[in-house]
Amino acid sequence: VQSMVAAMPHNQTKAEEHGFDNGINPPPGHAVEPPSRLVGGSTLSEENSSDKVGTAALDGLNATTESLDRVRVDSTGRALTTNQGVAIADNQNSLKYGVRGPALLEDFVLREKVTHFDHERIPERIVHARGSGAHGFFECYQPLAKYTKAAPFRAAGKVTPVFVRFSTVQGERGSKDTARDVRGFAVKFYTDEGNWDLVGNNIPVFFIQDAMKFPDLVHAVKPEPHHQMPQAASAHDTFWDFVSLMPESTHMLMWVMSDRAIPRSFATMQGFGVHTFRLVNEQGESVFCKFHWTPVAGTHSLVWDEAVKISGADPDYHRRDLWERIESGNYPEYELGVQIFTEEQAEEFSFDILDATKLVPEELVPVMPVGRMVLNRNPDNFFAETEQVAFCTAQVIPGIDFSNDPLLAGRIHSYVDTQISRLGGPNFHELPINAPLVQVHNNQRDGMHRQAIHRGRVNYEPNSLGGGCPFQAGAAQGFVSVPARIRADEEQGKVRAKPEKFADHYTQARLFYESQTPVEQCHIANAFRFELSKVAVPAIRERMVASLRNASEELAQKVADGLGMNPLPSPLPRALPDPVTPEVQKSPPLSLLARPGDGTIKGRKVALLVAPGVEAAAILRVQAMLAERGAVGRLVGPRIGPMPAANGDVVDADASLENEPGFLFDGIVLPDGAEAVAALAQDGHTAESIKDQFRHCKPMLVLGASRQLLTHAGIPLAMDKSLVQGGTGLIVAEPGQEDSAIAAFIDALAKHRHFGREMDPPLV
Ligand code: HDD
């Protein structure tokens, strides 16, 4: 054998470059464990997941784990093979005639590898291309039998596995997470009676009332067709041209210009089914229903300047946050609530419940909590799960039904249709992530990529050769549409028209604006100012302000001031001349600040600045106290790596101000130690980080000598004093009072933002 090896061309096996005993590569089967920077992240989620470091999946609560087991691949201790399972001897060299000779066509190993690679991409989603997914479960609080027979709501404590995908709408698959945009909130319930997809958004209303306008809306908001700009942004002419000509968009625009469109985390935003659905009970009785997801962590958002900066430093900000929350055991959790109302009630409302640009105020119909959803497992493979998951609004189960919302009707068609081209054929339901946990039996056959092997010769119904199987389930078990009466006024017949109340475009836009706190109102005005200032054609800006005048004179004036528009244009003519008298004038739950959450700091990230000569004890104490509460404190230095502390110990910075700028953190701690403070003062990144924290109204803890860093960053001390006293989250520790200062900082972190400090334009 030895002589044969010697006779081979020099690098036949590339042992020198790829050898396992050269001290660089680990031997086969020995993975390098990634270091865990996450609190609580120490155990492997699943045995075969080499780069997941989070807590283990929970038995019984991750039913999708088992169903996906059959397709999971674990290459630990295995040799490379072709797709036909033939072991590959050499994965470095193509087959050639002599080492310097031509490559040979017969090289099936090379050709298979490159051919597969050539086809690795699939078309991205037409909208919602950028997204992140997670597995989890839904748990029912109480049986909801009075209203619905839907499987997930049958019994208290009943658990249904789910897969969730959050997304932005406008940007492409690789675009930034922190765009100003609507967020998709799509939930696939793998129920014991088939899959139910609740494909919602983080905003309860929509831009348009009829699916007929969806392609126009999407064309208008997407990058403009001639130059393909802008990416992941709505601040451009075609979008504002369209929406300013579609007054029905006004309500949605209020939401999209609010901080809802720049969430801090997927774990801190609400979700909504948007349309009116129906719940149906065993007796076939039905009620109308609106679905609401409310995050246990509260609703928290970014501020615009911060979102813009984050998009440069970490375009994966939300994806990373979701991944890290799950890996560290701070599972995102949401309560599902339903608003239930009857057809008779709906008829009395001042708005039409079939109009997706309207919401049902909670004062009119309260939200009843029915269960909770916990996201506790990251996908094993992004493509196989998050990219290939196919949500379809048509996928409902017995107990859930549609209303006649014309936007929903279009969606029931569109999603199945789009998957056929995106996923390459009609069998996308067989992809592991899409397959229901229950068995599928029908006479649909063949098509691209068919996986099921149907046995026997019967592929039709009725049949006697197969004993009549698969047979119709009948009304008792099967899905039966609600035999809803359509009050289609006989004399109307087939029409292309809208119900009358659809013509009221402004009442709820006003309701939303009036229900916001002054800070939120200011952010809405600023967002309109920003977006419209990017619009090049003055007539479009004017038309939009003219439309806003119908919703709120105050807002229109603020926006006009911001655009240097004087005088105001006349209000746009209204489709419905007589204003509607709404049931409620103000709905406090529409404010983000109305849902501060559970008051914890779980999942938050704090920068603990360090430099050589740092007084380590207090910093490490803050880090430990944060960890106890489920937050992550990262040691951030001018450079990464170990450095001497003032007491002779060594502290190890695992991030630098260069690779993790301050605005990526929810809070910042400035250390004590004269030498360290002097070093930090020498680095311009420090002052930038402090300014950003100040400007973005996030908590700061200032220990000992680092007080001077504030002055250095241009935060006047006189101001800082008033701000400290004003409880605005800027905490300067007095000597000997460090413990109470740390406690105050943690408290400030739980409050998230301290808008008392906000100024427009920013002073710092
Ligand atoms: Fe849609 C994707 C949400 C109106 C057509 N939509 C998509 C996704 C979400 C929504 C969350 C991403 C799902 C995922 O993560 O894979 N869409 C909404 C909401 C709407 C809405 C809440 C209004 C209430 N959509 C809407 C209309 C149409 C579509 C009116 C067409 C008539 N939506 C699509 C689509 C997409 C989609 C083209 C693109 C990729 C996909 O479906 O799977 O079919």
For residue 277, give the nearest of 169, 198, 194 by alpha carbon: 198
Angle 571-576-580 from CA coordinates, rounded to 5°:
100
The partner residues of 702 in beta bridges, in order of sequence, read: 670, 732
| Residue 541 marked in a binding site | no
pLDDT > 70? residue 726: no
- The residue among 406, 430, 454 that closes a domain is 430
pLDDT > 90? residue 609: yes
CATH code at 718? 3.40.50.880
What is the per-residue pLDDT across 612-643, written as a single tens digit (0 to 9) for each?
999 999 999 999 999 999 999 999 999 999 99
What is the per-residue pLDDT across 457-495, written as a single tens digit (0 to 9) for each?
999 999 999 999 999 999 989 999 999 887 666 678 889
CB contact set of 338 (below 8 Å; sequence gap of 6+): 147, 279, 289, 290, 291, 292, 367, 368, 370
CA 612/CA 715 separation, integer angstroms: 24
CATH code at 516? 1.20.1370.20
CA 364/CA 349 separation, integer angstroms: 9
Q: For 466-499, what is the HEC assignment? A: CCCCCCCCCCCCCCCCCCCCCCCCCCCCCCCCCC
- In the numeric block, which tokens belong to residue 106? 């017969």
Other beta carbons less than 10 A from residue 624's beta carbon:
10
| Residue 422 marked in a binding site | yes
- Do residues 639 and 615 both lie within one domain? yes
CA 11/CA 29 separation, integer angstroms: 23
User: Which pLDDT score, from 0 to 100, does residue 6 have?
Assistant: 47
Ligand 1 centroid vs 334 CA: distance in angstroms?
Answer: 21
Alpha-carbon distance values, 408 to 150, 169, 209, 393, 411 (Å)? 20, 18, 9, 8, 5
- Domain holding 219, by residue range, is 131-430
| Residue 415 marked in a binding site | yes
Set 62, 128, 429, 526: catalytic member: 128
Report yes or no: 673 and 696 within 8 Å, Cβ to Cβ: no
Beta strands in 578-720 (DSSP E): 605-609, 632-637, 641-644, 650-653, 655-656, 667-670, 700-702
What is the per-residue pLDDT across 279-330, written as a single tens digit (0 to 9) for each?
999 999 999 999 999 999 999 999 999 999 999 999 999 999 999 999 999 9
- The residue among 414, 430, 446 that closes a domain is 430
Alpha-carbon distance values, 279 to 153, 157, 254, 475, 592 (Å)? 11, 20, 30, 16, 28
* Owner of token pair 């959790």: 333
**Candidate from 122, 128, 429 with most ligand 1 atoms within 8 A of CB, to mutate:** 128
**Candidate from 318, 319, 415 with most ligand 1 atoms within 8 A of CB, to mutate:** 415
**Residue with CA closest to ligand 1 atom 21:** 411
Helix (H, G, I), strand (E, B) or coil at 669: strand
- Does residue 51 fall inside a structural domain? no
- Do residues 575 and 663 both lie within one domain? no
Q: What is the pTM of this model?
A: 0.94
What does 700-724 look like in DSSP terms, one character per residue?
A: EEE-GGGHHHHHHTT--HHHHHHHH
- Do residues 588 and 616 both lie within one domain? no
Pick the atom of ligand 1 nearest to 167's CA. Answer: 15
Residue 718's pLDDT band (cuts 50, 70, 90):
low
Ligand 1 centroid vs 127 CA: distance in angstroms?
Answer: 7
- Does residue 472 fall inside a structural domain? no
- Torsion, Cα of 695, 701, 703, 708 (10° steps): 10
CB contact set of 89 (below 8 Å; sequence gap of 6+): none
User: Which class for 11: exposed (0-12), middle (13-18), buried (19 or more C-beta within 10 A)?
Assistant: middle
CB contact set of 19 (below 8 Å; sequence gap of 6+): 25
Ligand 1 centroid vs 387 CA: distance in angstroms?
Answer: 15
- Do residues 532 and 620 both lie within one domain? no
What is the per-residue pLDDT across 329-340, written as a single tens digit (0 to 9) for each?
999 999 999 999
128 catalytic? Reply is yes
Set 201, 330, 427, 526: catalytic member: 201
Helix (H, G, I), strand (E, B) or coil at 280: strand
- Do residues 643 and 581 both lie within one domain? no
Ligand 1 centroid vs 505 CA: distance in angstroms?
Answer: 23
**Residue with CA closest to ligand 1 atom 22:** 200
- Do residues 169 and 293 both lie within one domain? yes
- Does residue 708 fall inside a structural domain? yes
How many domains does the chain divide into? 3
Pick the atom of ligand 1 nearest to 128's CA. Answer: 12
| Residue 190 marked in a binding site | no
- Do residues 582 and 624 both lie within one domain? no
User: Which pLDDT score, from 0 to 100, does residue 44 have?
Assistant: 33
Helix (H, G, I), strand (E, B) or coil at 667: strand
Q: Phi and psi at residue 412, in whole multiples of 5°? A: -60, -30
CB contact set of 241 (below 8 Å; sequence gap of 6+): 220, 537, 540
Report yes or no: 672 and 615 within 8 Å, Cβ to Cβ: yes
- The residue among 430, 445, 463 that closes a domain is 430
Across the range 32-43, mean pLDDT stands at: 46
For residue 225, give the nearest of 216, 417, 131 by alpha carbon: 216
Angle 549-555-560 from CA coordinates, rounded to 5°:
80
Residue 446's pLDDT band (cuts 50, 70, 90):
very high
**Candidate from 122, 124, 125 with most ligand 1 atoms within 8 A of CB, to mutate:** 125
Ligand 1 centroid vs 438 CA: distance in angstroms?
Answer: 25
- Does residue 378 fall inside a structural domain? yes
User: Which pLDDT score, from 0 to 100, does residue 75 have?
Assistant: 86
Residue 198's pLDDT band (cuts 50, 70, 90):
very high
ipTM of the complex: 0.99
Alpha-carbon distance values, 746 to 531, 633, 735 (Å)? 35, 12, 18
Alpha-carbon distance values, 550 to 206, 215, 349, 586 (Å)? 19, 27, 21, 17
pLDDT > 50? residue 48: no
**Candidate from 127, 270, 357, 391 with most ligand 1 atoms within 8 A of CB, to mutate:** 127
> How far does Cα 200 stand from its chain's mean position?
11
- Do residues 159 and 225 both lie within one domain? yes
550 catalytic? Reply is no
- Does residue 56 fall inside a structural domain? no
In the Cβ-directed half-sphere of 58, how many Cα atoms lie within 13 Å?
Answer: 14
The partner residues of 632 in beta bridges, in order of sequence, read: 605
CA 204/CA 337 separation, integer angstroms: 13
pLDDT > 90? residue 357: yes
Pick the atom of ligand 1 nearest to 131's CA. Answer: 15
**Residue with CA closest to ligand 1 atom 42:** 415
- Does residue 739 fall inside a structural domain? yes
Across the range 682-697, mean pLDDT stands at: 95
pLDDT > 70? residue 42: no
Ligand 1 centroid vs 239 CA: distance in angstroms?
Answer: 18
- Do residues 332 and 229 both lie within one domain? yes
**Residue with CA closest to ligand 1 atom 7:** 128
User: Which pLDDT score, from 0 to 100, does residue 165 have?
Assistant: 98
- In the numeric block, which tokens belong to residue 462? 């009725």
What does 351-371 look like in DSSP terms, one character per residue?
A: S-TT-TT----TTTSPPEEEE
- In the numeric block, which tokens belong to residue 616? 């380590």
Ordered strands of the 632-637 beta sheet: 655-656, 632-637, 605-609, 667-670, 700-702, 730-732
pLDDT > 70? residue 667: yes
- Does residue 73 fall inside a structural domain? no
For residue 651, give the nearest of 622, 612, 681 by alpha carbon: 612
Pick the atom of ligand 1 nearest to 418's CA. Answer: 44
- Do residues 586 and 647 both lie within one domain? no
What is the per-residue pLDDT across 235-259, written as a single tens digit (0 to 9) for each?
999 999 999 999 999 999 999 999 9
- Do residues 588 and 614 both lie within one domain? no
Tell me the average pLDDT of the chain: 91
Across the range 521-532, mean pLDDT stands at: 98
Residue 123's pLDDT band (cuts 50, 70, 90):
very high
CATH code at 310? 2.40.180.10
Report yes or no: 629 and 641 within 8 Å, Cβ to Cβ: no
The partner residues of 645 in beta bridges, in order of sequence, read: 614
pLDDT above 70 covers what percent of the chain?
A: 89
Helix (H, G, I), strand (E, B) or coil at 236: coil
Pick the atom of ligand 1 nearest to 125's CA. Answer: 40
| Residue 97 marked in a binding site | no
Q: For 144-201, what is the HEC assignment? A: CCCCCCCHHHCCCCCEEEEEEEEEECCCCCCCCCCCCCCEEEEEEEEEECEEEEEEEE
What is the per-residue pLDDT across 566-577, written as a single tens digit (0 to 9) for each?
999 999 999 988
**Residue with CA closest to ligand 1 atom 26:** 411
| Residue 165 marked in a binding site | yes
Residue 72's pLDDT band (cuts 50, 70, 90):
confident
Angle 605-607-609 from CA coordinates, rounded to 5°:
165
**Residue with CA closest to ligand 1 atom 9:** 184
Pick the atom of ligand 1 nearest to 127's CA. Answer: 39
pLDDT > 90? residue 261: yes
**Residue with CA closest to ligand 1 atom 38:** 126
User: Which class for 276: exposed (0-12), middle (13-18), buried (19 or more C-beta within 10 A)?
Assistant: buried
- Do residues 611 and 687 both lie within one domain? yes
Report yes or no: 695 and 762 within 8 Å, Cβ to Cβ: yes
Ligand 1 centroid vs 253 CA: distance in angstroms?
Answer: 18
Q: Which residues line ligand 1 (CB under 6 A)?
A: 125-128, 131, 165, 167, 184, 186, 199-201, 206, 211, 214, 274-275, 356, 391, 407, 410-411, 414-415, 418
pLDDT > 80? residue 38: no
**Candidate from 414, 416, 419, 428 with most ligand 1 atoms within 8 A of CB, to mutate:** 414
Ligand 1 centroid vs 293 CA: distance in angstroms?
Answer: 18
- Does residue 141 fall inside a structural domain? yes
* Owner of token pair 């047979």: 471
Pick the atom of ligand 1 nearest to 126's CA. Answer: 39
Ligand 1 centroid vs 393 CA: distance in angstroms?
Answer: 8
Peptide bond into 462 cis (omega under 30): yes
CB contact set of 312 (below 8 Å; sequence gap of 6+): none
